[in-house]
Amino acid sequence: MALPTRTSGAGVELIKSFEGFRARATRLPDGSWIVGFGHTAGAREGLRVTRADAELVLRHHDLKPIEDLIGQRVLTPLTQNEFDALVSFAFNIGPQAFLESNVLALLNSGERLQAAEGMTAWRKAQVDDEVRVVDALVRRRAAEKALFLEHPSGRIPVPGALLRPQYDPGAALAMSRERAVVIEARTEDGRISAAPPRPASETAPQAAARAVSERMSKLLGEEPETGRSAEGAAPGVPTADEITRAVSALAEPDGAGEDHPDNNIIEARQIPAAPPRQPDEPAPQRVPPAAHEGKREILRPPALPPSRSNGMNGDISVMRWLPYALLSGLGLWGVFEGVRRTVAPSVQRFPGSAGEAYVGPLLAFGSALLSVLAIYYLYRAITRQD
């Protein structure tokens, strides 16, 4: 497999999509200028370029040193997709940072998957005088990693029924919980700043509550868009607003700007008493009174099931793990006793046959085996894996 020397069209398009196009030279915060698709070497004030010229400069001027660097420093054969991904990665972080990164070291040692994972670490930048995770860099690293791992002969079909993926706790621990910042590039002055939060009409919990209320309205035969008042609703049935407040309280108990009911309670309206009937008025047909008429009905949301953490269950039965605990303790005692019998002086041993010399080692070995098995099944019993 020969080493590619030029970036393919797919690699150039990947770089162009993330670098962005600037038809007019823009001043950067450090005083330099940028124009076209990330070109800085020949950029100056007042310079204008077309998209076609900017692509020529990118292909034959800006990417050429990066391609030569990868051809000289990467010692392992590369596919075209791997070469394109490395060119985009090195062009973004800079040649010196690429030479000092673990991506190059892992790649030269033959660890291709680890090298691809190493690209993910380069996702931070200085925004508003603070080093933060940038969403655009996260997306670019993901695209470069996907291109790097793309097999030249196409994707290998591996159905889930054949190889069912398993959860990897090590990969989950390596994930950072730091929230990425959305940036915006101001092309007029070349400054990069965090984008202001967009004014949202509703938060995620409120959107979920609205969806639940609409679903409940359809089930109850109500139409929220008709603007029907609370007096015209069915007696004893909570309104969509009350359902929305209850769901918001469940999803956002500490939210501001709205007084949520205590203990996430939905309180149904009190059924109004019927007006007195005139003597000459015919008796209306009336539904038989329910048991809760004239009272205030309290509807509570269903209790959530007890949560688990790390596979441990809080209500483990004692008889489930107690026998294994006793056997493990007995095994540890046997190991100690066997070692003591083995290393004890001969004068302390009881007189007997010559075969008693093997009692200590056999007792220690058997007890160690018993202890290992008991501890294994004790762990399975506690974590409820069997």
Question: Quick check: 43 and 25 in contact, CB under 8 A?
Answer: yes
Residue 310 within a domain: no
For tokens 């929220």, the residue is 224
- 215 with 361, same domain: the answer is no
Q: What is the mean pLDDT of each run of 10 residues along the chain (386 residues)?
A: 82 95 91 93 91 94 95 93 96 95 94 93 88 93 95 86 84 69 58 58 68 73 49 55 60 44 42 55 54 47 46 53 81 84 62 64 83 81 61
Q: Identify the burial level of 168 via C-beta atoms within 10 angstroms of its C-beta, where 0-12 means exposed, 13-18 middle and 19 or more buried.
A: exposed
If one counts the domains in the chain, the total is: 3
- 370 with 258, same domain: the answer is no
- 69 with 188, same domain: the answer is yes
For tokens 């990467």, the residue is 74
Confidence at residue 239, expressed as pLDDT on a 0 to 100 scale: 62
Residue 173 within a domain: no
Residue 275 within a domain: no
Helical residues (DSSP H) of 20-111, grouped into ranges: 51-57, 63-73, 80-93, 95-100, 102-108
Residue 63 within a domain: yes
Closest CA to 124 of 140, 111, 146, 145: 140
- 244 with 186, same domain: the answer is no
Confidence at residue 216, expressed as pLDDT on a 0 to 100 scale: 73
Rounded distance, CA 272 to CA 208, Å? 32
Residue 164 within a domain: no
- 127 with 220, same domain: the answer is no
Residue 307 within a domain: no
Dihedral of the alpha carbons of 31, 32, 36, 41, in degrees to the nearest 10: 180
- 189 with 253, same domain: the answer is no
Q: Alpha carbon of 185 to those of 83, 195, 290, 330, 357: distances in Å?
A: 28, 9, 64, 69, 82
Rounded distance, CA 351 to CA 370, Å? 28
Residue 159 within a domain: no
Residue 300 within a domain: no
- Residues labelled as active-site residues: 19
| Tokens standing for residue 291 | 């048991």
Confidence at residue 152, expressed as pLDDT on a 0 to 100 scale: 85
- 247 with 350, same domain: the answer is no
Q: Which CATH number is 101's domain given? A: 1.10.530.40
Range of the domain at 75: 9-153+179-194
- 39 with 145, same domain: the answer is yes
- 344 with 252, same domain: the answer is no
DSSP code, position 279: T
- 18 with 109, same domain: the answer is yes
- 255 with 135, same domain: the answer is no
- 346 with 263, same domain: the answer is no
| Tokens standing for residue 227 | 């603007």
